[in-house]
Amino acid sequence: MLRMAAATRTKAKAKKKAASKKKTVRKSAAKKSPAKKKVSKKTAAKKTAKKKSAAKAKRKTPALYTPPRKYSIAFSVNGARVETETPAHTSLLYLLRDLGFTEVKNGCEAGDCGACTILLDGVAINACVALGVQVDGREITTVKGIGTVENLHPIQKKFIEHGGIQCGFCTPGMIVAAKALLDDNPSPSREEIKVGIAGNLCRCTGYVKIIDAIEAAASEMASM
């Protein structure tokens, strides 16, 4: 019994000794830690500075240019099929002119002057206030699709005969608007003609001759 008690005491002493050793080791480690802390603070400061300068550089670097996405569209102009690609923001006026249909005139780009008038599926619209992507699968007629030099449409003939063409800038749009009017109303009164071309401005102020020409074209077409 006595021997056992002595053995237990020895074990307890050994445990105590081991525990105190551990404490000593921890203490010495704790003594060393301020230095360690100093190092980690420095590293953290360096990291923060690095991050800040990276963020600054990022702010200064201009964003890389991303070209606008283009959409594939197909439509017809004066009976000919056109296949092209266009960004969503390009106006129909720019699209047509870029494709070579320069008979569609650019006057105001705001839907005010009518110089860019075209027929879209037979309806007169201002190409400058429509988007190119909107004509996918549709039919466009410009002044060149109404008649040819060899075979003029009665409206074109009468514009020439009545002097309805002065500088000629408004003429493509005027003729397209007149075509839409006569398609819809083959025998318009002078007042109806004025309303029909109300969206088309002529800077040469030759409205009387233009109205005469449309009236004459209507009567010629009625007799055909």
- Closer residue to ligand FES in complex, CB, 109/220: 109
Query: Which of the ranges 32-40, 66-74, 75-83, 100-108 carries the binding residues for ligand FES, by CB under 6 A?
Result: 100-108
The minimum distance between CB 88 and ligand FES, in angstroms, equals 19
**C-beta separation of 196 from 173 below 8 A:** no
Find how far residue 88's CA is from the centre of its chain: 4
Residues of span 152-211 touching ligand FES by CB under 6 A:
166-171, 202-204, 206
- Considering CB under 6 A, how many residues would be counted as binding ligand FES? 22
* Closer residue to ligand FES, CB minimum distance, 109 or 192: 109
Beta bridge partners of 76: 81, 139
Tracing tokens 């070579």 back to the chain, one arrives at 100
How far is it, in rounded angstroms, from Cα 57 to Cα 36? Answer: 32
Cβ closest to ligand FES, residue 78 vs residue 91: 91
Interface residue with ligand FES, options 92, 114, 154, 182 (CB under 6 A) = 114
Nearer to ligand FES, 55 or 167 (CB): 167
Pairing status of strand 70-77 against strand 123-126: unpaired
Which is nearer to ligand FES, 97 or 144 (by Cβ)? 97
- Pairing, β 117-120 against β 123-126: antiparallel
Q: Which of 77, 118, 124, 126 binds ligand FES (CB under 6 A)?
A: 126
Taking phi over 0 as left and psi of -120 to 50 as alpha, with beta for the rest, 120 belongs to beta
Residue of the chain from 73, 95, 96, 113 that contacts ligand FES (CB under 6 A): 113
State the minimum distance, in angstroms, from the CB of residue 112 to ligand FES. 5
Q: Minimum CB separation from ligand FES for residue 170, in Å?
A: 3
Cβ of residue 96: shortest distance to ligand FES, in angstroms? Answer: 11
In DSSP notation, 173-220 reads HHHHHHHHHHHH-SS--HHHHHHHTTT---TT--HHHHHHHHHHHHHH
**CA–CA separation, 45 vs 139, rounded Å?**
67
In the block, tokens 């360690």 appear at: 36
Out of 71, 76, 90, 109, the residue judged to bind ligand FES by CB under 6 A: 109
Span interacting with ligand FES, options 28-36, 46-54, 106-114, 138-146, rule CB under 6 A: 106-114
